Amino acid sequence: NILIEGDNYHALSVLNYTHQGKIDVIYIDPPYNTGAKDWKYNNNYVDSNDGYRHSKWLSMMNNRLRLAKKLLKDDGVLICAIDENEFNRLGLLLEEIFGNHEQHCITIVHNPRGVQGKNFSYTHEYAYFSLPLGIKVISHRKIKEEDIEWRNLRDNGGESLRTDARNCFYPIIVRD
């Protein structure tokens, strides 16, 4: 087992000399291109006003994902975390690079209270799983009823009242 912490492009490049085709799983958590400044890495990869920001972000990811693919064993799995800012584009890029793999986009709830977006609050991020066709990587399992957390369609925790966060509540209108 090996854990490498550092710039992902440089780490992937170096690993291709010593570990090409030998890695079982790669988990990457790239910059989401949100413009946030409170991260250890640059989450403002491209200025939000740049007309080519998605293209530049895709180019950056393309280089890294192609290096990552070379590292994976034939039955290796890539997992990539992402949020709503680039998840559509990332999905298309993964389909192109990992065309002979299944693509699964899984929703991961991180904050039941939500984080205010431009129009909606988000409680989740995503993880893309790229796995070779025909390979079973998740075993069969049955979740016990008591292990399921049922929630109402509302924010949780403090500051979750309608008076505290008016634009975090959305009506559901049912005809008749």
pLDDT tens per residue across span 46-96: 666 777 778 888 888 999 999 999 999 999 999 999 988 888 999 999 999
Cα distance between residue 34 and residue 121, in whole Å? 15
Q: Which long-range contacts (CB under 8 A, 24 or more apart) does 69-74 make?
A: 69/97, 69/98, 70/16, 70/20, 70/21, 71/12, 71/15, 71/16, 71/19, 71/20, 71/21, 71/22, 71/23, 71/26, 72/21, 72/23, 72/24, 72/26, 73/21, 73/22, 73/23, 73/24, 74/21, 74/132
Neighbouring CB atoms inside 10 A of 153's CB total: 7
Q: 91-126: per-residue pLDDT in tens? A: 999 999 999 999 999 988 776 666 777 777 777 889
Q: What is the DSSP letter of 65?
A: H
